[in-house]
Amino acid sequence: MANTKKVALVTGSGRGIGLGMCRELAKSGFDLVVNDIHPTDVVAPALAELQSLGAAVLYCQSDISKVTEHAGMLAKIKQHYGRLDVLVNNAGVAPNVRADVLEASPESFDRLISINLRGPYFLTQAVAKWMIEQKLTRGCIINSSSVSSTVASVNRGDYCISKAGISMATMLWAARLAEFGIDVYEVRPGIIASDMTAGVKAKYDALIANGLTLEKRWGTPEDVGRAVATLARGDISYATGQVIMIDGGMTLQRL
Strand partners of residue 9: 33, 87
The candidate with the shortest Cα–Cα distance to 143, out of 194, 67, 81, 92, is 92
d(CA 86, CA 78): 13
Catalytic annotation, pick one of 59, 81, 121, 159: 159
d(CA 33, CA 70): 13
d(CA 14, CA 33): 10
Cβ-based neighbours of 109, under 8 Å, separated by 6 or more: 158, 161
d(CA 247, CA 39): 32
Angle at 22 between CA 16 and CA 40, to 5 degrees: 70
> Annotated catalytic, 238?
no
47 CA to centre of own chain: 18
Cβ atoms of residues 215 and 250 within 8 Å: no
d(CA 141, CA 85): 9
Cβ atoms of residues 160 and 117 within 8 Å: no
For residue 232, the surrounding DSSP H or E stretch is helix 221-233
Among all residues, which ones are annotated catalytic?
159
